[in-house]
């Protein structure tokens, strides 16, 4: 019975923890402009993250070591440094966006300007990392994040025209007033938001924190195979609700209040309260994950002791890295930069960093030295290679599309 | 050398960019801001939570519309038609900004909400029309 509960809890936290500020903003922006035309990108992105997170989880379960440690050992310090550089900077940018997201949510809850909340949010993230047990931290954020299901409920309550919804999903062109390149820019942004690099590093390092072994392989399969796709449904709920409320009003989503207002429109004050709890949990959870991931990646590359299971005095570089990253994120936001703008940049640059993050995972997941006889089968390898091609195309196209379309404007 | 090539690529791409023309973009931003504020005010009940969300939405709308007003005013019109449209847009956005300020003050005054929503909706429709005209220049 305890085992089944653990599986259920893992799946629920995977659903609730799937969405972060990048998913919230990008899906609402895309939904208001393109309806559900880009739902296919969410599906493609979810399958990709399922594949690669599963491979990362498998490596941990079978070798007992986190992906980044093995990447350095397997590829050498120089190649791993490129991987580290891209992933670390992207994760730091995402951490900045998440802390900005917490501050914006607290503004919506209290009416007090977000600048005042940035220090509070940063301090809260550090205190949780310092004081709260890993499992408690992960489960609380994931379970509270489940309240984001109100986006899906709102979509149904708002009463979509089902014929129009099917048309949006099946017919990609034309979009009146939108250039095809803008459409492709958002395809890449949405893909980047779904496959954010920190997710696999956190998943892999978190599995080490939770002492996964061979017996946990099934848990890994269920967490990513059921939890992530259901998390993807939340993304579609965000896009669908944004379309139904904002498109008729000719509104382009550019703030967090516009992301949550469709739920208030559909479900009133209770819905608004639930969605704000969900957004706060999602951004807080992702801020914790990204802050930890900054520490994980650098410590694993450098060979320092790492992990929350160590007392801070036993892993000082790991904890100092986290503190420095939090201070950088706080400093960037204190300049008054728009957190939504940071989020938009973070999802685009995530797409750029994807090949450097995901290609080494595929190499390691095929190395018998680490996974024994459980190397990828031909079907998994074929799918992973197809995704690697998609990832490379998205990475190459991301910056030109961003410049050509003026960040999708 | 590599850095110079990257800079050249970025500048080149930006030069042949497909971004929306400035007048149309600014008018579109003001339309979006005004529509957003109208909806936030329309869906408001008397709870503190919804008031806080509506106030933030309207505050964002004021910022966006004020920025759009500055951009439209600074736009160097190339001909008489553009000049006329620019003047109309300046007037329309100025009206919208005034109404957005009233809306911000009216969030916690239920008696005024309905008339404010009507005004903002009218502002939005007027700005939307101007955005369409700016797009056809």
User: What does the DSSP assignment read for A180-200?
Assistant: HHHHHHHHHHHHHHHT-THHH
Closest to A357 (Cα-Cα) out of A50, A71, A94, A159: A71
Q: Given an 8 Å threshold on Cβ–Cβ distance, is B52 in contact with A108?
A: yes
**pLDDT per residue as tens digits for the range A52-87:** 989 988 998 898 888 888 888 888 888 888 888 888
| Alpha helix (H) residue ranges in A146-216 | 150-157, 162-170, 180-194, 198-209
Residues of chain B neighbouring A249 (CB-CB closer than 8 A): 35-36, 38-39, 124
Count of CB atoms situated within 10 Å of the CB of B14:
12
Residue B110 confidence (pLDDT) above 90 = no
The rounded distance, in Å, linking the Cα atoms of A121 and A284 is 8
Residues of chain A neighbouring B51 (CB-CB closer than 8 A): 111
Domain count, chain A: 1
Q: Quick one: pLDDT at residue B14?
A: 54
**pLDDT per residue as tens digits for the range A19-32:** 889 999 999 999 99
- pLDDT-based confidence at A6, cuts 50/70/90? low
Residues of chain A neighbouring B35 (CB-CB closer than 8 A): 246, 249-251
The pair of structure tokens assigned to A351 is 């797409």
Closest to A308 (Cα-Cα) out of A327, A289, A336: A289
Residues of chain A neighbouring B53 (CB-CB closer than 8 A): 108, 257, 260-261, 264, 272, 276
Give me the mean pLDDT over the A180-187 stretch.
Answer: 92
Mean pLDDT taken over chain A: 90
Q: Quick one: pLDDT at residue B121?
A: 94
Residues of chain B neighbouring A265 (CB-CB closer than 8 A): 39, 43
The rounded distance, in Å, linking the Cα atoms of A53 and A204 is 8
Give me the mean pLDDT over the A1-8 stretch.
Answer: 66
Q: Quick one: pLDDT at residue A138?
A: 82
The pair of structure tokens assigned to A406 is 């003026």
Closest to A92 (Cα-Cα) out of A294, A285, A287: A294
What is the percentage of chain A residues whose pLDDT exceeds 90? 54
- State which residue of chain B sits closest to A114, comparing Cα positions: B56
**pLDDT per residue as tens digits for the range A216-274:** 888 888 888 888 888 899 999 999 999 999 998 889 999 999 999 999 999 988 999 99
Q: Given an 8 Å threshold on Cβ–Cβ distance, is A399 in contact with B10?
A: yes
Q: Are A344 and A407 in contact (CB under 8 A)?
A: yes
Residues of chain B neighbouring A261 (CB-CB closer than 8 A): 36, 39-40, 43, 53, 57
Owning domain of residue A225: 2-404
The rounded distance, in Å, linking the Cα atoms of A44 and A248 is 28
Q: Are B19 and A409 in contact (CB under 8 A)?
A: yes
Residue A304 confidence (pLDDT) above 90 = yes
Residue A1 confidence (pLDDT) above 70 = no
What is the distance in angstroms between the Cα of B80 and the nearest Cα belonging to chain A? 25
- State which residue of chain B sits closest to A113, comparing Cα positions: B56
What is the distance in angstroms between the Cα of A219 and the nearest Cα belonging to chain B? 39
Residue A207 confidence (pLDDT) above 90 = no
Q: Quick one: pLDDT at residue A368?
A: 92
Q: Could you tell me the CATH number of the domain that includes residue A272?
A: 1.10.4160.10
Give me the mean pLDDT over the A89-100 stretch.
Answer: 94
Residue B108's SS3 state is: coil
**Would you give the DSSP letter of residue A226?**
I
The rounded distance, in Å, linking the Cα atoms of B25 and B42 is 26
User: Looking at per-residue confidence, does B44 or B90 come out higher?
Assistant: B90
Give me the mean pLDDT over the A170-198 stretch.
Answer: 84
- pLDDT-based confidence at A121, cuts 50/70/90? very high
**Which site among B28, B49, B67, B134 would you substitute to test the A interface, given the most A Cβ atoms closer than 10 Å to its Cβ?**
B49
Q: Residue A409 falls within a domain, yes or no?
A: no
Q: Given an 8 Å threshold on Cβ–Cβ distance, is B43 in contact with A110?
A: no
Give the count of Cβ contacts less than 8 A between chain A and B.
96
Give me the mean pLDDT over the A101-127 stretch.
Answer: 93
Residues of chain B neighbouring A399 (CB-CB closer than 8 A): 10
Q: Given an 8 Å threshold on Cβ–Cβ distance, is A252 in contact with B51?
A: no
**pLDDT per residue as tens digits for the range A357-386:** 888 889 999 999 988 888 999 999 999 999
Q: Quick one: pLDDT at residue B9?
A: 53
What is the distance in angstroms between the Cα of A135 and the nearest Cα belonging to chain B? 31
Closest to B40 (Cα-Cα) out of A356, A131, A265, A83: A265
Q: Quick one: pLDDT at residue B128?
A: 93
Helix H or strand E encompassing B63: helix B48-74
Going by C-beta distance under 8 Å and a sequence separation of 6 or more, which residues neighbour residue A108? Answer: A256, A257, A260, A276, B52, B53, B56
B13 touches chain A (CB under 8 A): yes
Closest to A375 (Cα-Cα) out of A364, A383, A366: A366
- pLDDT-based confidence at B96, cuts 50/70/90? very high
Question: What are the backbone dihedrals phi and psi of residue A318, each rounded to the nearest 5 degrees, phi first?
Answer: -60, -50
Q: Is the peptide bond before A401 cis (omega within 30 degrees of 0)?
A: no
| Alpha helix (H) residue ranges in A35-179 | 39-63, 67-75, 77-110, 114-131, 134-145, 150-157, 162-170
Q: Quick one: pLDDT at residue A17?
A: 67
**Would you give the DSSP letter of residue A227?**
I
| Alpha helix (H) residue ranges in A335-377 | 339-364, 368-371
Q: Quick one: pLDDT at residue B8?
A: 56
Mean pLDDT is lowest, of A33-42, A130-139, A172-181, B26-35, for A172-181
Of B9, B36, B135, the CB nearest to A251: B36
């Amino acid at each position: 019975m305890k085992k089944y509960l653990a599986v259920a809890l893992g799946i629920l936290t995977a659903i609730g923890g799937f969405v972060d500020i990048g998913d919230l903003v990008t899906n609402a922006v895309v939904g208001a402009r393109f309806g559900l035309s880009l739902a296919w990108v969410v599906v493609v992105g979810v399958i990709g993250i399922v594949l690669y997170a599963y491979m990362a989880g498998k490596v941990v379960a079978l070798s007992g070591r986190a992906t980044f440690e093995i990447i350095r050992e397997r590829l050498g310090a120089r190649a791993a440094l490129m991987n580290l550089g891209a992933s670390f900077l992207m994760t730091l940018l995402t951490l900045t966006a998440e802390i900005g997201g917490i501050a914006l949510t607290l503004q919506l809850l209290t009416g007090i300007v977000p600048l005042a909340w940035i220090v509070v949010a940063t301090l809260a993230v550090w205190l949780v990392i310092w004081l709260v047990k890993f499992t408690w931290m992960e489960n609380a954020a994931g379970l509270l994040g489940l309240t984001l299901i109100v986006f899906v409920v709102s979509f149904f309550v708002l009463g979509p025209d089902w014929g129009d919804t099917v048309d949006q999903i099946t017919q990609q062109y034309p979009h009146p007033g939108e250039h095809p390149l803008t459409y492709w820019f958002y395809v890449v942004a949405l893909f980047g938001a779904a496959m954010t690099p920190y997710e696999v590093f956190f998943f892999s390092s978190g599995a080490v924190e939770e002492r996964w072994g061979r017996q946990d392989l099934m848990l890994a399969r269920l967490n990513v195979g059921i939890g992530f796709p259901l998390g993807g449904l939340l993304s579609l709920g965000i896009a669908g609700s944004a379309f139904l409320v904002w498109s008729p009003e000719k509104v382009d989503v550019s703030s967090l209040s516009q992301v949550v207002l469709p739920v208030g429109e559909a479900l009133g004050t209770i819905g608004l309260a639930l969605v704000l709890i969900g957004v706060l949990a999602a951004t807080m959870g992702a801020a914790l994950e990204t802050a930890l991931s900054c520490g994980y990646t650098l410590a694993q590359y450098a060979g320092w002791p790492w992990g929350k299971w160590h007392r801070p005095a036993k892993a000082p570089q790991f904890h100092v890295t986290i503190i420095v990253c939090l201070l950088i994120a706080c400093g960037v936001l204190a300049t008054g930069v728009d957190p939504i703008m940071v989020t938009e940049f973070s999802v685009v640059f995530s797409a750029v960093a994807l090949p450097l993050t995901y290609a080494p995972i595929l190499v390691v997941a095929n190395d018998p030295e680490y996974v024994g006889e459980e190397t990828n089968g031909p079907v998994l390898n074929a799918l992973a290679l197809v995704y690697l091609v998609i990832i490379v195309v998205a990475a190459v196209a991301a910056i030109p599309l961003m410049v050509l379309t003026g960040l999708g404007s | 050398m590599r850095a110079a090539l990257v800079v050249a690529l970025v500048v080149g791409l930006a030069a042949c960019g497909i971004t929306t023309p400035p007048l149309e973009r600014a008018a579109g931003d003001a339309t979006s801001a005004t529509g957003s504020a109208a909806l936030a005010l329309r869906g408001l009940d008397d709870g503190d939570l919804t008031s806080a969300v509506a106030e933030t939405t309207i505050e964002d709308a004021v910022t966006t519309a004020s920025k759009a007003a500055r951009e439209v005013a600074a736009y160097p019109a190339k001909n008489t038609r553009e000049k006329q449209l620019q003047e109309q847009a300046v007037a329309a956005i100025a009206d919208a900004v005034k109404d957005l300020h009233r809306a911000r003050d009216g969030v916690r005054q239920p008696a005024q909400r309905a008339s404010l929503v009507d005004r903002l909706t009218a502002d939005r429709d007027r700005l939307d029309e101007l955005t369409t005209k700016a797009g056809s220049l």
